[in-house]
Structure formats: C-alpha cells, structure tokens
C-alpha cells in the first residue's frame, strides 16, 4: 500500500465507486481502523513524552523510564543496542531526510546511523533537553536558557529565544523553535522572531508554511516572511490543539478531546473515544511511510491505519465475526463484555427484540443466496428460521410467538416477562410486540422469495406465517399472552388503531403492518380469509386511508395515553421508521392489485423523502426495491463509513465546533449534515442517526448484520457489482 493511496483513504475515497448504468463497481477503498498497543506494567504512572518513527517505519516512544518500541501489538523496552539499553534519553528525534534516530543524553548526543560515527560529548552536563537534526548533519540543541549548534565536530553556542523553548524542529534545512510566545527561526547563531503567537502549543510544516496550533484553532504563516498564509481555523472539531502533524498536505491535530484530520472534501474526520484511542488526551503524533498515524496519549500508544478493502471484503469480515461469536440458537446475539471492549470476555445474551435483530441477519443471508446460490447462505438462513419456528413451539399458546427463549435459569433481559415452557429445560419470553411481528412477515417474505425452492420449503414458511396470522385474527387483532390479555404493543384492532389521530404515527404504522401481514398470508397460503380480512379492514375501517396518511402530518400530539404512556409525546419515533421500511417490502411486493401497489408506492415515497437526510442504506434499498427511488451516493457512503468496531464505546460529538447545529426539532435532527457512521455512537437501524452522543462504556458489541443486509440487498438489486 503506498502512502499516497493510503492518505487518499482519509477522505474515505469519495470517488472509490463509479456508477455505470446505475450500478456501482466495488473498487477497493480505505477505511480508518484503530489499534491500541498493549502497555507494559512498568510504564504505569510514567510520563510518556513523544512518539517517533524512523526510516524503517519502526515506531518508538520516549518515556521518563526509558526508550520503548512497538513489537507486534505491544510496546516493549528497546534493548536492541546493548550500550543504550539501560540509558534513559532526554530526547530522541529522527533526522530530516534520512530518518536516522539521534539520541540526546545529559552528557552526549549520538546516533546508531552512519555506522555510529556522528557523536559528541557535551561540555556541560544536563544543559540541553531537546535536539533537532538537519539533513546535512547539523544538530541543534536547546535547554533552559541555552542553545547550541553542533556542526563539523564543533559546538557553537547560540543566543536562545527569550522564552522557554517547547519544541525544536527542522524544515528544509532550517531550524525552528516553538516557544511559549511564538515561533523563531535560527539565522546563523541567533534565533530571530518569525511570528508572535498567543499561547502557541504546536507547530508543523507544509510546503513553505508553518502550521501553528493554539488553544483556539490553527493557522499558517509563510516560513520565510511570517506573513499569514492561512487564516485561523476555528471551525474544527476541537480548537484546543496540543499536537500537529502534516501528512500529504493535510493537517492532523491532536487535542485534549481526541484528534482530527482534514479530509479530501474540505471537512474533518474526528477520532475520539475508545473506538479510536485508549484515552482522548493526545500529546504527540507521528506517521510512517505506509500512511499510518500514531497518536500518543498520557497513558498509551494508538495507531490509526487505513487498510484497503472492498465492500465485499468488509461483508466477509462481518460474516466471519457473526459466525464466530454472535449466533445463539439461530438468533443473532448481542454480546455482553465483562471487560469493556474485550471480545475474549464476551457472552451471548437475549434481548428484548431477538426476532427483529435476527431478521436483519436472516434477510442478509436470503439476499446473499438470491445473489450467489451459495449453500452456506441457504443453510444460515434456514438455521435462523429454526429459531423463529421455535418461538411458536416452545410455549403453550396456539400461534403465539414468544419474543425469545433460553435454557432455564439463564435469562437476561426483562426477567418479569419470562414464562415457564412445557419443556422444563427452557423458558420463553412473552409480551411480544409489533416490532417482532414486522420481523416475522419480513423473514417469511424474503425466505419465500429467495430461499424456499421446493414445495416443502415453501409450505414450511407458509405454515409459520399462517399460525401467527390465525392467532391474531382469532384474538380480534391482538397478540394475546399467557395471562389472556393483549400484549402492550401487539394490537391491530380497529378500535385501537383508529383511536389515534392522524398526527400520531401508530395509526398509520399499525394499519400498514397488519395489511402487509394479511396480504402475505394470502399469497403464501392461498386462504381467502386473509384477503377478505384485509379488504374489510381497508374498506370498512379505513386502514387503506390510514396507510396513505402523509408522514409530514406526524407531529407532537400530547394527551393520547395508552396504558399510562402518552403516545403523542417524545418526538419522532425512529423504531417506527425501521418497522415501516421492513414492512414496505412486504406491503408493496405482495399487494393484491396494481392499483394498491401504486397507492402503496406513493406512501413509501412520502416516507423515504422524509428519511433521506439520514442516508440509511436499508431504507434507500427498500425504496429502490419497491418504488424505484434510490440515493446511490448516500447508500455507498453509508456502507463505506459503517464502523468496523461495533463495541458500544461512549461517543461524544455534541461539543464539536465544525458542525452546524440545528434548532431543536420534532425529528431530532441535531446537525445540518450527518457525520460518518464511524464517528457516531454504535447503533442499530432503529436509532436516530443524528444522535451525537451515546454508548454503553464498551460493555457490549453488535454483530454486523446491520451492514450485511444492505450490502447483500445492493448486490441483489444490482446497484453494486
């Protein structure tokens, strides 16, 4: 991988896809990923001073306890040169041009490069604590109130800057000093002011300019004249800049709240939280010839790299990850991590919506089989379906689907909702909701379309949906639990549905989901009762009219309380978006008539247009697979920026100064533009993509089916090669 290619990846290769005849080619692209190096116990409580890379791309860290280097994924004491192994340098730097390391000790400076010839004893021990080395071998030394230039075997004292020197650097053979009050350059044997700066904190060089980091942003001046060449950049994620690095013409900045970097679109990528760094306070940065960026904090070393992969390779990564540790009895499983972020401590647990989350994975395998005809994809789809079949057979009720099940004594979520199974080894979870119902009709539809090939397989799917729909019809359009009462959300009865005003989404959504289920039941079983019931609900009870309610009417409507819950408050419901779009696939593709299909298409388009700012790839692809509406750029951007790390780290973006914030609004859109998914808190499709902050402290990990479903849908719908 070349450095040029890698740094193009910082902008996430916005041109990594080309569209031809409506189909995108899956060219390789670069996506940032993080590695946090394991730290040796002896460095606990020590001062980590700076990170340095040499011409071999070896990575080193200077500490107050000695000199360290990376070895694999760990930081270890550098004992390779026995004469230096026990010595503690005051400073280490890489020579401009050659990349050889030069070491400064209290009584000497030296290098192991050039056969170890460059070397000098210092006349006064401890006078200097910093050094910089030019390409011609000149060595500039600085310390409190002192500076000297070593050249040609001689040490010449220089007039130091009047303020304390914080950094020494060399650029194009010229030495520069960052002090507490500005930037100086060395002219002959004297430092001369280049730019007075209020509270400067860092400097770096780009072409013929000095980039200067302050508490309030960064700017640039001409390195010869000191004239301003770039105005103060304050509209950055965090203006308090503690370290600077320039890589292929783009600025990287370390801050007390993470790091950020310019991207190819003129925006900034923000790297903060445990997803990217062991802690957010960045002290020092370095880069290597491969384009990897190393960020040193007070307590650890981190690497951000830009590996090249295709979306197909990304999908294969998540597929493997899921098969390794996320399959629980066929369900997709959320992981609990007893040590934050440590997959080795993971345990699979049940959740409130095992069926819904598993529907995304089953769907991904159904579309995968539709594309590839791989036997494994078919096997995985049926394996997931076995879990769905068992939610019916594990309980005592006829046609009632359990939320989930577990061996007795090991339940995790909502313990009050669990019931004993007739099988004494198992328990099942009741209180099943409309979320789960949507999962049932979705998986039945995609299995029927793409996976079920024999009459027996098709009958198996039909029997599943028939049992559930029969239960709902026989119980007056309710899911009735073991206590004989309707569940909290499993309700489609006209009295319930039409109790809501048009401004509350439940009226529209409930009508949509049950009509889709009845249409599907008719298509899969041929039973006339399903068509008759759907027709009755649409014509007599207004369910078709409800489906066609304009989504722009949905708004804050307090005062409508259902079982103590005010249904008209709380803002836009993004879980409803998830249920609606999964249902649209079924509603549209199983419509009784072309006229209905046309009407449904208008409703889908109305919803999709509202959702477009969220750039959700699944919503885009379902719109494409129904109405033909599609935002190709948004879908590809979503898949490219979907994070590789799905641990629920605590993420914060609400403090960023590079974002344009919107006034509080019903939809909860906090910012003008959506930030990349790998900068957002980890979330499923039912969350607000504009939530800037969130997380669970790294205590859990999502599986990756959230990515697999849109990837394989894109392949199935032939928008991605």
Q: Compute the average pLDDT of residues 288-316.
A: 97
Q: Give pLDDT, residue 265.
A: 83
Q: Answer yes or no: are the C-beta atoms of 93 and 132 closer than 8 Å.
A: yes
In whole angstroms, give the CA distance from residue 141 to residue 144: 11
248 pLDDT tier (thresholds 50, 70, 90)? confident
Q: Compute the average pLDDT of residues 664-681.
A: 97
Q: Is the pLDDT of residue 5 over 50?
A: no
In whole angstroms, give the CA distance from residue 377 to residue 708: 12
Q: Give pLDDT, residue 609.
A: 97
Q: Give pLDDT, residue 23.
A: 86
* Per-residue tokens: 684: 């499923």
- Taking only the tens place, the pLDDT of each residue in 683-712 is 999 999 999 999 999 999 999 999 999 999
User: How high does pLDDT run on average in the chain?
Assistant: 95
In whole angstroms, give the CA distance from residue 599 to residue 547: 9
Q: Is the pLDDT of residue 6 over 70?
A: no
Q: Compute the average pLDDT of residues 534-557.
A: 98
Q: Which residues touch 185 (CB under 8 Å, ≥6 apart)?
A: 174, 175, 176, 177, 191, 192, 194, 223
Q: What is the DSSP string of 571-593?
A: S--HHHHHHHHHHHHHHHHT-SS
- Give the residues across from 67 on adjacent strands: 62
Q: Give pLDDT, residue 19.
A: 41
- Taking only the tens place, the pLDDT of each residue in 96-133 is 999 999 999 999 999 999 999 999 999 999 999 999 99
Q: Is the pLDDT of residue 15 over 50?
A: no
Q: What is the DSSP string of 648-695?
A: ---B--TT-SSS-BPPP-TT---BSSPPPGGGSPP--TTS-TT--SB-
567 pLDDT tier (thresholds 50, 70, 90)? very high
Q: Which residues touch 607 (CB under 8 Å, ≥6 apart)?
A: 551, 577, 580, 581, 584
Residue length of the chain: 721
3 pLDDT tier (thresholds 50, 70, 90)? very low
For residue 652, give the nearest of 379, 303, 255 by alpha carbon.
Answer: 255
Residue 58's φ and ψ, nearest 5 degrees, are -75, 145
Q: Answer yes or no: are the C-beta atoms of 329 and 394 closer than 8 Å.
A: no
Q: Give pLDDT, residue 613.
A: 97
Q: Is the pLDDT of residue 11 over 60?
A: no
Q: Is the pLDDT of residue 13 over 60?
A: no
Q: Answer yes or no: are the C-beta atoms of 3 and 248 closer than 8 Å.
A: yes
Q: Is the pLDDT of residue 254 over 80?
A: yes
In whole angstroms, give the CA distance from residue 650 to residue 269: 17
Q: Compute the average pLDDT of residues 592-603.
A: 98
How large a percentage of the chain has pLDDT more than 90? 95
For residue 597, give the nearest of 626, 618, 620, 630 by alpha carbon.
Answer: 626
What is the CA angle 345-346-347, rounded to 5? 125
The CA–CA distances, whole Å, from 663 to 54, 555, 691 equal 49, 16, 14
8 pLDDT tier (thresholds 50, 70, 90)? very low
- Taking only the tens place, the pLDDT of each residue in 143-199 is 999 999 999 999 999 999 999 999 999 999 999 999 999 999 999 999 999 999 988
The pTM for the full model equals 0.93
Q: Compute the average pLDDT of residues 295-316.
A: 97
Q: Answer yes or no: are the C-beta atoms of 203 and 213 closer than 8 Å.
A: yes
Burial level of 686, CB count in 10 A (0-12/13-18/19+)?
Answer: middle
In whole angstroms, give the CA distance from residue 366 to residue 361: 9
For 446-588, strand residue ranges (E) read: 478-480, 486-491, 561-562, 565-566
Q: Is the pLDDT of residue 327 over 80?
A: yes
For 256-300, strand residue ranges (E) read: 258-262, 268-271, 282-287, 293-297
- Give the residues across from 77 on adjacent strands: 68
Q: What domains can you pick out in the chain, each with its CATH number?
A: 311-716 (1.50.10.20)
Q: Is the pLDDT of residue 485 over 80?
A: yes
Rounded (to 5) percent helix, strand, coil in the chain: 30, 30, 40
How large a percentage of the chain has pLDDT more than 70? 97
């Amino acid at each position: 991988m070349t450095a040029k290619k890698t740094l193009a990846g910082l902008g996430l290769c916005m041109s990594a896809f080309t569209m031809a005849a409506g189909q995108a080619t899956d060219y390789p692209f670069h996506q940032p990923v993080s590695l946090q190096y394991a730290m040796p116990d002896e460095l606990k409580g020590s001062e980590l001073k700076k990170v340095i890379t040499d011409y071999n791309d070896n990575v080193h860290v200077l500490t107050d306890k000695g000199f360290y280097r990376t070895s694999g994924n760990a930081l270890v004491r550098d004992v390779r040169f026995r004469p230096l192994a026990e010595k503690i340098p005051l400073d280490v730097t890489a020579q401009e041009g050659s990349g050889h390391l030069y070491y400064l000790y209290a009584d000497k400076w030296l290098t192991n490069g050039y056969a170890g010839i460059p070397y000098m004893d210092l006349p006064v021990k401890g006078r200097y604590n910093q050094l910089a080395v030019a390409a011609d071998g000149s060595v500039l030394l600085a310390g409190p109130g002192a500076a000297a230039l070593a050249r040609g075997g001689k040490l010449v004292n220089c007039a130091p800057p009047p303020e304390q020197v914080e950094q020494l650097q060399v650029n194009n053979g010229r030495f520069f000093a960052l002090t507490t009050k500005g930037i100086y350059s060395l002219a002959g044997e004297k430092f001369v002011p280049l730019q007075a700066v209020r509270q400067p904190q860092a400097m770096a060089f780009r072409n013929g300019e000095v980039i200067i980091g302050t508490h309030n942003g960064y700017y640039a001046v001409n390195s010869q004249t000191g004239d301003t060449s770039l105005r103060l950049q304050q509209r950055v994620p965090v203006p308090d800049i503690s370290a600077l690095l320039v890589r292929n013409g783009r600025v990287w900045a370390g801050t007390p709240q993470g790091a950020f970097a310019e991207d190819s679109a003129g925006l900034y990528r923000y790297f903060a939280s445990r997803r990217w760094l062991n802690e957010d306070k960045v002290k020092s940065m370095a880069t290597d010839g491969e384009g990897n960026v190393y960020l040193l904090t007070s307590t650890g070393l981190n690497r951000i790299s830009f590996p090249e992969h295709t979306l197909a390779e990304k999908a294969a990564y998540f597929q493997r990850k899921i098969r390794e540790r996320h399959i629980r009895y066929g369900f997709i499983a959320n992981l609990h991590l007893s040590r934050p972020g440590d997959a080795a401590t993971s345990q699979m647990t049940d959740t409130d919506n095992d069926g819904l989350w598993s529907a995304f994975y089953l769907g991904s395998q159904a579309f995968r089989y539709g594309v590839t005809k791989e036997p494994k994809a078919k096997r995985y789809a049926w394996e997931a379906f076995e879990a769905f079949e068992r939610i019916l057979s594990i309980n005592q009720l006829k046609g009632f689907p359990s939320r989930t099940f577990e061996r007795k004594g090991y339940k995790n979520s909502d313990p009050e909702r669990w019931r004993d199974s007739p099988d004494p080894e198992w328990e099942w979870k009741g209180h099943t909701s409309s979320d789960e119902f949507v999962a049932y009709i979705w998986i039945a539809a995609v299995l029927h379309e793409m996976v079920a090939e024999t009459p027996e397989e098709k009958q198996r799917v039909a029997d599943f949906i028939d049992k559930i729909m029969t239960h709902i019809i026989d119980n007056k359009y309710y899911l009735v639990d073991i206590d004989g009462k309707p569940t909290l959300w499993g309700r489609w009865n006209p009295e319930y549905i039409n109790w809501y005003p048009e401004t509350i989404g439940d009226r529209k959504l409930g009508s949509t989901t049950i009509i889709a289920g009845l249409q599907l039941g008719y298509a899969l079983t041929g039973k006339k009762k399903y068509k008759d019931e759907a027709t009755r609900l649409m014509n007599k009870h207004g369910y078709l009219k409800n489906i066609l309610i304009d989504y722009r009417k949905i708004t804050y409507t307090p005062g409508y309380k259902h079982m103590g819950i005010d249904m008209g408050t709380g803002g836009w419901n993004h879980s409803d978006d998830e249920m609606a779009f999964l249902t649209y696939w079924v509603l549209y593709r199983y419509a009784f008539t072309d006229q209905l299909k046309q009407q449904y298409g208008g409703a889908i388009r109305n919803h999709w247009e509202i959702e477009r700012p969220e750039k959700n790839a699944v919503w885009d692809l379902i719109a494409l697979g129904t109405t033909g509406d599609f935002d190709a750029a948004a879908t590809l951007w979503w898949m490219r920026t979907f994070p590789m790390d799905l641990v629920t780290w605590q993420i914060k973006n609400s403090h960023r100064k590079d974002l344009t914030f919107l006034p509080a609004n019903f939809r909860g859109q906090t910012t003008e533009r959506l930030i990349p998914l790998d900068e957002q808190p980890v979330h499923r499709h039912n969350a607000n993509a504009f939530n800037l902050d969130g997380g669970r402290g790294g205590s859990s990990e999502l599986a990756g089916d959230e990515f697999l479903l849109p990837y394989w849908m894109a392949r199935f719908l032939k928008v991605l090669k």
